[in-house]
Amino acid sequence: MKTIILPEKESWNELCRRPEIARKDLENVVRGIINSVKSEHDKAVHYFSEKFDGVPPGNLKVSSDEIRESAVQIHQYLMNAINIAKKNIESFHSAQLLTEPVIETFKGVRCWRKGVAIEKVGLYIPGGSAPLFSTLLMLGIPAKLAGCKEIIVCSPPGKDGNVSPLILYTAQLIGISEIFKAGGAQAIAAMAYGTESIPKVYKIFGPGNQYVTKAKELVQQDGVAIDMPAGPSEVLVIADNRANPEFIAADLLSQAEHGPDSQVIMLTDDLKLIERVKSEIDRQVELLPRKDIALKALENSKLIQMPTLINCIDFSNLYAPEHLIINTVDANSVANKVRNAGSVFIGNFSCESAGDYASGTNHTLPTNGFAKNYSGVSTESFLKKISFQEISAEGIKNLGPTIEVMAEAESLIGHKNAVSIRLKSLENG
């Protein structure tokens, strides 16, 4: 990790840059994959699965037998853990199903909004080096709570051509049976445009690497909605001299092990803490099975000393991290100053792993600075809000003249007439 001491404010924007593949090459590759899937459908999905993942062609759809048999491969203690997480996620996300009141904006004019589920949604569940069954909990549960009529899942198969039994078991637990063996940009394209096997959906959810994120960005240009730009994982920790360096190192490594393009940052006003955290990282990384991945991510990561904690929070708001851990004496006070972050973890024991798995909040969050203008996934992400209004005879008499004046000022006489005709009919009885 790079150590940066008291950087000038003019350098902050540069320090906020994330590691990335050359944009031109990335877009050209992904656009080629998308165009192939649009024209060749299943054939293209098979081709890219074999090319990138070494998976020979086979049935793209996971059979009901494969889903049913997945349970016997899962230890009971893990099933129990998944059930606890499911309950907590359901509790948190069901509270987001709010009924908005009917508002009488003017005498005789009633307006309201109603949340209606998006009918067809696609969930992308990463499954390459680490099958993220937890992401299926985070996406599938709110989709079910919202009432989405058709929920499909795409997840890359392993070298044996099978989707992880953990993902299949989790899908069965939630009540999802439409699962397909496809990953990467080709899976995003398949859900966006449809193939012989994979249905077209109206909105695509789920995190992924830069190829998946770029594919989501490109299909959005064709009118397919996406949840957010959710790319490589990242965490930023704000810590003071009272923080436990062992905890901080563990939090940083928990994100670094996601992938070589992940990024982790620590901000502190205490130089001695940086040295202690570096020592802990060196010690703990040797214990990780995914050591090589974590070390690659650490090459693009930073330990930064700032003059004050206020500078730390200012930098954090500029960086807009996916995950923000505040490990300071007065953590709640610091948290009140957060303006840009996907999810915030307050205090010494609020590790980011809790949000990743089982506390109840959603872990599908905006990355790469998009926390400045995007929220994380919620139950509302699977709903669209339809506005309604009902105007009585009394209402149009009261509000009509206002509408007529405004329409005439915009030279939209047809708009004015739609009101005037009604007012005249009321005058005539």
Burial of 197 (0-12, 13-18, 19+ CB in 10 A): middle
Round to whole Å and give the CA distance between 295 and 290: 9
**What single string gives the DSSP state of each residue in 268-288?**
ES-HHHHHHHHHHHHHHHTT-
- DSSP type of residue 428: T
11: CB partners within 8 A, 6+ apart: none
Provide the residue count of the chain.
429
How do strand 150-155 and strand 120-124 relate by DSSP bridges?
parallel
Helices (H), 194-264: 210-220, 245-256
Round to whole Å and give the CA distance between 176 and 393: 48
In b/e form, how buried is each residue of 148-161, taking b as 16+ CB within 10 angstroms? beebbbbbbbeeee
Q: Which of 257, 322, 352, 404 is catalytic?
A: 322
Tokens 């994979």, residue? 198
223: CB partners within 8 A, 6+ apart: none
State how far Cα 13 lies from the chain centre: 24
Structure tokens at 211: 């190829």
Residue 323 annotated to the active site: yes
**What single string gives the DSSP state of each residue in 340-386?**
S-SEEEESTT--HHHHHHTSSS------TTGGGT-PPP-GGGGEEEE
Q: Which of 41, 258, 323, 363 is catalytic?
A: 323
> ∠ CA 176-360-202 to the nearest 5 degrees?
40
Q: Is 225 left (phi over 0), alpha (psi -120 to 50) or beta?
A: beta
State how far Cα 35 lies from the chain centre: 25
Q: Is 175 left (phi over 0), alpha (psi -120 to 50) or beta?
A: left
Residue 124 main-chain phi, psi, to 5 deg: -95, 120
Active site members: 322-323
